[in-house]
Amino acid sequence: MTLYRPLSSQRGLALWPLIILLIVIAALAGAGWWGWQQWQILEGQRSGLEQQVAGLEKRLDQQSEESRKQRQALAALRHTQEETEARMARDREKLNDMSQGGQRLWLITEAESLASLASQRLLLTGDAEAARRLLKAADETLARLDDPQTLPARRALAADMEALNAALQMDVQALVLRLGALRERVDELAVPLRERPQNSSAGDDNAKPSWWQQFLSHLPVNIRHHDDAEPLPMTQSEAALVQLGINTSLQQAQLALLQGRAESYGQALNQARETITQWFRGDNPATRHLLSALDELDEEAVSQALPDIGGGLAAIRELKRKEGDA
Each residue of 116-154: pLDDT tens digit? Answer: 999 988 877 777 888 999 999 999 999 998 889 999 999
Residue 184 lies inside a defined structural domain of this protein: yes
Residue 74 lies inside a defined structural domain of this protein: yes
How many other CB atoms sit within 10 Å of the CB of residue 129?
13
149 and 90 part of one domain: yes
Q: How confident is the model at residue 3 (pLDDT cuts 50, 70, 90)?
A: very low
251 and 158 part of one domain: no
Residue 34 lies inside a defined structural domain of this protein: no
256 and 161 part of one domain: no
Stated pTM of the model = 0.41
Q: How confident is the model at residue 236 (pLDDT cuts 50, 70, 90)?
A: confident
Whole-number pLDDT of residue 222: 46
Residues 6+ apart with CB under 8 A from 241: 53, 56, 57, 60
Structural domain span for residue 82: 65-167+307-325
- 10 Å CB burial of residue 296 (0-12, 13-18, 19+) is exposed
Residue 124 lies inside a defined structural domain of this protein: yes
86 and 132 part of one domain: yes
Least confident of 20-34, 67-81, 94-108, 299-313: 94-108
Residue 160 lies inside a defined structural domain of this protein: yes
Whole-number pLDDT of residue 233: 67
* Spatial distance between the Cα atoms of 20 and 196, rounded to a whole number of angstroms: 38
Residue 218 lies inside a defined structural domain of this protein: no
Residue 86 has pLDDT above 90, yes or no: no
Residue 248 lies inside a defined structural domain of this protein: yes
85 and 180 part of one domain: no
Least confident of 101-115, 186-200, 207-221, 247-261: 207-221
Whole-number pLDDT of residue 103: 80
Instruction: Count how many domains the chain has.
Output: 2
Mean pLDDT in the chain?
77
* Spatial distance between the Cα atoms of 21 and 276, rounded to a whole number of angstroms: 54
292 and 186 part of one domain: yes
